[in-house]
Structure 1
Amino acid sequence: MSRQEFAYEILEEEAAYQGFFSLFKFRLRHTLFDGGWSPVLTRELFHRGNCVAVVPYDPITDQVVLIEQFRVGTVKNQDAKWILEIVAGAIEPGETAEEVAHRETWEEAGCTIQKLLRVTEFYTSPGGTSEKITLFCARVDATRADGIHGLDAEDEDIRVHVFSFEDAFAKVESGEINSGIPILGLQWLALNRERLRREWTD
């Protein structure tokens, strides 16, 4: 079956919950690789819209700016409840991904972006959520990164950390950084760091 022959039908859609996030319930079916159609399936979709994530990197000092905050997604496990991440935030109506990158890097880390590079786009967990991330790497001045940040209106309490690249990547390898988005972002930086240091320090 070619991709042109793929098809699906939504037979019923119900808004099961509307709050800070949304939950939709679908009855649907889709074509099968061997031909024909699947039975009618019931699937729930966690919807939060598209988001942006940013790896704030200082090529002069070879440092990465990370943020730490409480995450409710950890409460059902034995992991630490305050976790290290990269900057991230939702794209609001009328905003571009680039505008969100600048806004969130300032709001969450207190850093002004000097250069911005779009890395890739990806779904975080397409088996159940619509969230799609646009990942950037941003040149920042890490010597100015410090303190507690976040918006009071969103009850954010975000602490900024500055690590050498080696220390930040060691936290990925040890499992201390255990969230998918910063892992992906720091792995990309590991592959492209030398190029960025050449291109962003000219």
Structure 2
Amino acid sequence: MQPLSQFDQHDVNISAVNTVFDGFFTIHQYEFQHALFAGGVSDTVKREILERGHAVAVLPYDPNTDQVLLIEQIRIGALASRQSPWLLECIAGMAEGSEDYQAVARKEAQEEAGLELDKLIYMRSYLSSPGGTTERLYLYLAVTDLSQAKDQGVFGLDDESEDIKVHVLPFSDAMARLESEEIDNAATVISLQWLALNKAQLLTGNEE
């Protein structure tokens, strides 16, 4: 299938990239011109972009019990729009420059849930918020045995100020919480919806 857009990277001219903040995150200001739909080239545009690097998220699923594992932790950015900033999420972590995303998923599962993953299935990747950050998330489903998972167990790395609680839920419960918007962060929403669409193939062993 041909891309719908008539433009690509060659239709953007970056004239400057300046660092405006360098702390826990880095913020760059891009100065650029781009092709216009009506023809010609835009004036110089300035945009501040959060440079987080890329991230990996993994949703553990046990087909034998039809359960998923989610983690709960505080997300201070949610405080502005939620009664509780403690979110139910997929296991996730920054890739920190690595392109071995499956290895990142396995490491994060051990750190955040004490879980050894079995089979990993790539679901998809997406840009988290391309108007303000370069971050791309890579999503995996882990087909794994959750019988040994420590429901209500607390995990996380002290040196990263992590305080993470594990929840092992029936898939139907997780979907009900998605429907009620208790689960409302993008990686988890997309992962659960992907599982809902593909669960039948997983259970019959016809997944790619």
- Please classify the TM superposition score into its range, dividing by the shorter chain length: over 0.9
Partners of 1:111 and 1:140 within 8 A in 2: no
Q: How many residues align?
A: 200
Match of 1:126 among 101, 124, 130: 130
Alpha-carbon offset, residue 80 of structure 1? 1.2
Alpha-carbon offset, residue 158 of structure 1? 0.4
Corresponding residue for 1:169? Answer: 175
Gapped runs of 5+ residues in structure 2?
none
**Counterpart of 1:145 in 2: which secondary structure?**
coil
Alpha-carbon offset, residue 6 of structure 1? 5.2
Corresponding residue for 1:196? Answer: 202
Match of 2:68 among 64, 67, 86: 64
- What do residues 114-139 of structure 1 show as CA deviations (whole Å, max 9, x unaligned)? 10001111101111111101110001
Is residue 93 of structure 1 aligned with residue 97 of structure 2?
A: yes
- What do residues 172-193 of structure 1 show as CA deviations (whole Å, max 9, x unaligned)? 1100001111000000000011
Q: TM-score, normalised by structure 1?
A: 0.93
Q: Which amino acid aligns with 1:42?
A: K
**Counterpart of 1:61 in 2: which secondary structure?**
coil
Q: Which amino acid aligns with 2:13?
A: E
Gapped runs of 5+ residues in structure 1?
none
**Counterpart of 1:178 in 2: which secondary structure?**
coil
Correspondence list, 1:13-162, <5 A:
13-94=17-98, 96-146=100-150, 147-162=153-168
In 1, the alpha carbon distance for the partners of 2:186 and 2:171 equals 18
Q: TM-score, normalised by structure 2?
A: 0.91
RMSD, aligned α-carbons = 1.6
Partners of 2:90 and 2:187 within 8 A in 1: yes
In 2, the alpha carbon distance for the partners of 1:52 and 1:145 equals 21
Alpha-carbon offset, residue 95 of structure 1? 5.3
Q: Which moved more, 1:164-173 or 1:71-80?
A: 71-80
Partners of 1:45 and 1:130 within 8 A in 2: yes
